[in-house]
Chains A and B, each alone.
Chain A
Amino acid sequence: MKLFFSFVCTLSIVSACAMPSANTGKYDVIYSMDEVVHEKTAAEQEEQITIAVIPKVANIPYFNAAEEGAIEAAEDLGINLLYEGPAFADAAQQILIIEKLIEEEVDAIAVSANDPEELAPVLLEAKEKGISVVTWDSDTIPEARDFFINMVDPETLGRHLMDTLAWNTDEKGEFAVLTGALSAANLNTWLHWIKVHQKEHYPDMTLVEVSANDDNSQRAYASAKKLLKKYPGLKGIIGNSSVGPPAAARAVKELGKEGEVAVVGLSSPNPMNEYLKDGSAQIITLWSPKKLGYLTVALTNNAVNGIEPFDWQDIAKVGKIRMINNMVIMGDPMDFTKENVDQYDF
C-alpha cells in the first residue's frame, strides 16, 4: 500500500512534466516553409480592369473580326472592354479618341496606329498618367508604347505575299500593289519586304505601281480599276491591306479578266469566299483577326497586371507567341484558297 502510494506520487510527478506538450491543440506545427496562399481575395477581384482597344478604322470586316475576338477575351478574362475606332483610318481622329479615353481613366490602351509619329505624344501622355499602352496590328515609334503585338513576322509576310503572286504568274510580268494608308508602318514594312523578295528571287517581275486607298473600299475598287486599265499587260495585283484584294477581285471580275490577272494579298476569307471560288482571286493570306483581337486583350490585361510577354509564352486559347525586340508575333500567316476557304468564318 505504501509502495503503491509512492509509485502513484512518482508517476504523477513524471506525467505532470509530460502534460504541457500534449495539450497544445490537435495540430502541432513543427516546421513551416511558408503559408499556402489561395486565390486572390474577393476585394482584389472586384476591381475590374478597363481596357480600351482602338482599331485603325471602325466597321471593316477585318477590324470587326478583331473586335469579336477582343470581346471574347474580355468575357473570358472578366474585364471591361471599350472598342472604339475612327470612321476613317486617320491618326488625328485616333488622337481624339485616345484623349477621351485618358479622361475616362481607362487602365490600358491598345491601339492599331494609323501613324507611328503623330500618335506618339498622346500615347506618351497616357503613359504618364499610368495607363499601360501597347500597340497592335500597326506600330508606333517604340518609345510611345510598352510593346507591339504583331500578327506575323513582317519579313515572313512580305516575302510570302510576293511568293503567292509569283506562283500564280509563272514568276514573270508586271504587278501592282494596293496598299492602305501610306503612313501605316506595318503596310510599309510589308511593302518593303515584297520589294526585297522580288529583287532577290523574281527578276522577271516588275512592280509598276503602289496605289494607296486609306483602307477605303470604294477608293480601293476605283484604284484597282484604274490600274487594270492603265496597265493592260498587268499580270497580278497584291492587296497589301485587307480592303485591297476584294476590291481588286471585283474589278478583275467585272472586267472579265479572271485567270489573266492574279489577285493575291491580305484579306479575310469571308469577303473573298466568292472571288476565290469563281477564280477572280487565287490565294489570299491572312491571320485570324479574331485571334489577334483576343491576343491583344489578353496581353494588355497581362500588362496591366504586371506580366510582360515573353518568348514562347503560352497564351490560353491562342497558343505560343514569339517575342522579338519588344514585338510580339502571334504566329505564321495562313493561306486561304478555294479549297479551304469554307472552313473560316471571319
Chain B
Amino acid sequence: MISKLMKFKNYRLRTKLIVTYVLLTVIPISLLGYIAYSQYTKSIEEQVGEYIPKLLEQANENIANQIRELRKFPDLLYNSDEVVEVLRKDAHQSRSSLLQDEFTVNSYLSRTFINGGSQDILGVFVISKNRIFQSTKIPHTNFGLMDYSQSYGQDIQLKTDDIFVLPHQTSLRFEGNPPFVLIMKQLTDLENRTDLGTVLIAVNVTFFEDVINEMSEEGKADLWMMNKEGRVIYHTNPSKIRTIDREFAMYPQINGSFRTTQEDASRLISLNHMDETGWTLAHSVLAGNLTEQTDLVRNATIAVFLVFVAMSTVISILLAWNVSSPLNRLTSVMKRVEKGDFDVDLAIGTTDEVGMLANNFNSMVTEIKDLIRENYQIELKQKEAELYALQSQINPHFMYNTLETIAMSVEDDEKDTVIEMVTLLGRMLRFSIGNKEALVPIADELLHVKDYLTIQKIRFEEKFDFSIQEKIESQNYYTPKFVLQPIVENAVKHGLAYGRVTTIEIGVCLVPGNEGSEEIAFKVKDNGSGIKKETLADIQRTLASDPMAKRDSHFGLSNVHARIAMNFGSGFGLDIISGVDQGTEVEIRIPVLKNGSEGGCHELKEN
C-alpha cells in the first residue's frame, strides 16, 4: 500500500488531480445512492414481510373454516338409521341382500354428499367389513381395498378422530386430475361402541385456489400449502403438488416472514401455520418482484449517478488540463530555452497563479536574453579590438615588398620613384596610426586604397593597373575604416596572374536600398582567375553564418562582412560575384553615412 502511495505520488499531476476529483465525487454519490436504495428496498421488504403473513393468516382462517365445514360431512352418515343398520351388519350374507345394502348406502351417499353436499366433494367412499360403498361426482381410478391397510383383512382403526390422506398417500386419481385430499374418518357405532368402518371423502382443494389465488397476484408469487413434513398439498404451480419442500424443516418456526436465497435468487418467504390441520401456508415471492417499482427509482438514481460521474469526470479533466497544460507548455518552452532559443513567449492569458508563473518566466527569459546580449557585446568589442589591432598594422609582406621595391629603386637611383613610394607608405602608415575614429570619410578610405594600389603598380609596373571611379561626393560620406583595404588586398593577391595585365576597378556609388532609401555600394572588380563554384558557395555560406563564429580561412572577407553586418544589420555587408576565369566582383554595401546632422538614418554605433 505504501509503495502504491509512493507510486501515486510519482504520477503525473493531471492523473492525480483526475483520480482525486473522481474519487471525491464517485465515492460519496455511490455511497449515498447505495444506502438510499438499500434502505428503501429494505423498508419495502419489511412492509410486505409484515403484510403478507397477515394475509396468510386471513387465508388460513378461511381455509380452516372450509375444512371445519368439510370435517362435518362424515357425520352425516350417522343421520341415516338405514345406513347405520347396513353398516352394523357383517358381510356374511346372501349376494342379493349384499347388493341391496350396497344400493341403499350408495344412493344415500349420492343423495347426501354428491347431490346435496358441498360443491367441493368429489366422491365418498365407505369401507366397512370388507365392503365398499361409494359414490363419486366424476369417474375415478385406482381406488381399492389394498390402499388402506386392508391387507391384513381388517378394518382401519384410526387413533385420532379423523385424518387427511394426501394425494401422495393414495393411488386414487380422478378424471382431469383435480387436486384433492381425502378426509378419512372412523365410523364408530356410537351406541354399541364398535367400529362400523371408515369413510373417506375426497375433497377438491380448489377452494384453496380461490383463497390462495386472490393473493398470488397474477403468478408473481408462489403459494403453497404443505403438511408437517413439508409435503405440498396444493401449489399454485400444479406440477409441485405432492413434492416435498426440502427446506421446510429448516425454515424458522414462525408465523411471519423471512428472507432467504433459493436458486440464486433472493426470496421473501412468509409462513402461516394452521392449527386446525397442522398445515402451513407458504407464500414465496422474488425480492426482485417486490422492488420492481423501486427499480425505476434505482435506475433513475444510477442514471443520475452516471451523469454526475461523467460530468465530474469531464470537469475534473478540464480542471486538471487547465492546470497541467500551461505547465506542459512551460516545460516545452523551457526546453527550447535550454537549447538556446531565447526568442520565446509563453502566452497565458490568465492572471491566476499559472499566469503569474508564465509572466515571471517571460520576464526571466527576457532578462536572461538581455544579460546574454550584454555579454555578447562585450565579447564583440574585444573581438573588434583584436581586429583593429590586426588591421591597424600594414601587412608585413606588403611592407617587405614595398621596402624591397624602394631598395631596388635606390639601387637604380630612381630618386623620384623612391620619394613617391616613401611618401605613399608614410601616408598609409599615418592612416593606420590614426585609428582612433571608427568612421572615416570615404575619400580618405579611397585615398588609402589608392596609395596601396599605387605602390603595387610601381612594384609590378606594366603587369598591374587600376582605376577608381567616384560617383559621389566622397568627402561628404563616411565609411567604417579599413573596409576596402582587405578586399583590395585580396583582389591583388588572387587577381595577379602572369602573362597579362591585372586590372582592379574600384567604384563607389549610391544605389537604391531595400527600404527605398539609398545605400552606398563599393565595388571591387578584378580580372583575375575567379573563384571556383564550390569555393564560392563555401565562402558565401561562411558569410551568411554567424559573424561571431571563429574561422580560419577567408579572414579578410568575413572580417569585413562581420563588422558591417554587426554594425548596420544583416542587410548590409559583402556580396561576391565570380566565376572561373571571369574575374571576381565584390560589392560592399553600407548605409549612407553623412557628416554631422544630415548623417541620415544610420549612426555608427560608437565604441
Contacts and interface: CB of A to CB of B under 8 A. Distances in A.
B255 A33 contact: yes
Contacts of A68: 193
A28 B190 contact: no
Given A35-B254, A288-B190, A13 B57 contact: no
A294 B194 CA distance: 12
Contacts of B75: 319
B85 A27 contact: no
A10 B257 contact: no
A303 B260 CA distance: 45
A114 to B, nearest CB: 25
B97 to A, nearest CB: 15
Given A35-B253, A69-B193, A291-B190, A28 B258 contact: yes
Interface in B43-77: 45-46, 49-50, 53-54, 57, 75
Interface string B214-253: 0000000000000000000000000000000000001111
B258 A29 contact: yes
Contacts of A318: 190
A277 B508 CA distance: 183
Interface in B358-409: none
B291 to A, nearest CB: 14
B19 A17 contact: no
Best-buried of A30, A38, A69, A76 by chain B (most CB within 10 Å): A30
B318 interface: no
A18 B30 contact: no
B450 to A, nearest CB: 81
Contacts of A305: none
Nearest to A28: B259
Contacts of B258: 27-30
Contacts of A72: 193
Contacts of B42: 21
A29 to B, nearest CB: 4
Interface in A9-34: 9-10, 13-14, 17-18, 21, 26-34
A72 B190 CA distance: 12
A307 interface: no
A343 B50 CA distance: 58
Contact of A31 (B78, B190, B257, B280): B257
B260 A36 contact: no
B53 A36 contact: no
A317 B161 contact: yes
Contacts of B57: 33
A81 to B, nearest CB: 15
A4 B276 CA distance: 61
A6 B192 CA distance: 88
Contacts of B259: 27-28, 30
B254 A29 contact: yes
B256 A6 contact: no
B256 A32 contact: yes
A43 interface: no
Contacts of A26: 250, 260-261
Given A6-B23, A31-B50, A32-B254, A345 B194 contact: yes
Interface in B176-207: 186, 188, 190-194
A152 to B, nearest CB: 13
Contacts of B30: 10, 14
Contacts of B268: 30
A13 B35 CA distance: 12
A343 B273 CA distance: 44
B31 interface: yes
A88 interface: no
A287 B190 CA distance: 10
A29 B252 contact: yes
Interface in B7-61: 11, 15, 19, 22-23, 26-27, 30-31, 34-35, 38, 42, 45-46, 49-50, 53-54, 57
Nearest to B272: A33
A227 B45 CA distance: 86
A17 B85 contact: no
A27 B252 contact: yes
Contacts of B254: 29, 32-36
Contact of B192 (A2, A340, A345): A345
A316 interface: yes
A344 interface: yes
B255 A36 contact: yes
What band does the interface of chain A fall in when counting residues whose beta carbon is under 8 Å from B? Answer: 35 or more
B594 interface: no
A346 B191 CA distance: 8
A337 to B, nearest CB: 12
B23 A294 contact: no
B251 A2 contact: no
Nearest to B268: A30
Contacts of A344: 191-192
A209 to B, nearest CB: 32
B459 interface: no
Contact of B34 (A17, A36, A294): A17
Contacts of B15: 2
Interface string A143-170: 0000000000000000000000000000
Contacts of A33: 53-54, 57, 254-256
Interface string A307-330: 000000000111100000000000
A290 interface: yes
B457 interface: no
A34 B23 contact: no
A334 interface: yes
A340 B85 contact: yes
Nearest to B42: A21
Given A36-B273, A68-B193, A9 B23 contact: yes
A317 B188 contact: yes
B190 A317 contact: yes
Contacts of B256: 29-34
A151 to B, nearest CB: 12
B88 interface: yes
Contacts of B45: 30
A34 B256 CA distance: 7
Contacts of B194: 345
Contact of A34 (B35, B190, B192, B255): B255
Given A31-B46, A32-B255, A36-B254, A6 B190 contact: no
A30 B46 contact: yes
B160 to A, nearest CB: 8
Contact of A18 (B38, B50, B191): B38
Contacts of A334: 191
Nearest to B186: A317
A294 B193 CA distance: 9
Contacts of A69: 193
A2 B11 contact: yes
B19 A6 contact: yes
Nearest to A288: B191
Contacts of A27: 250-252, 258-260
A270 B128 CA distance: 24
Contacts of A2: 11, 15, 19
A14 B253 CA distance: 34
Nearest to A24: B259
9 contacts: A18-B38, A27-B259, A30-B257, A31-B50, A287-B191, A288-B192, A288-B193, A290-B191, A290-B193
The 9 closest A-B pairs by CB, nearest first: A30-B49, A32-B256, A288-B191, A290-B193, A316-B161, A28-B259, A32-B254, A31-B49, A33-B255
Interface of A: 2-3, 5-6, 9-10, 13-14, 17-18, 21, 26-36, 38, 68-69, 72, 76, 287-288, 290-291, 294, 316-319, 334, 340, 343-346
Interface of B: 4, 11, 15, 19, 22-23, 26-27, 30-31, 34-35, 38, 42, 45-46, 49-50, 53-54, 57, 75, 78, 85, 88, 159-161, 186, 188, 190-194, 250-261, 268, 273, 280
Given A14-B34, A69-B193, 7 more contacts: A17-B31, A26-B260, A28-B258, A30-B46, A32-B257, A290-B193, A319-B190
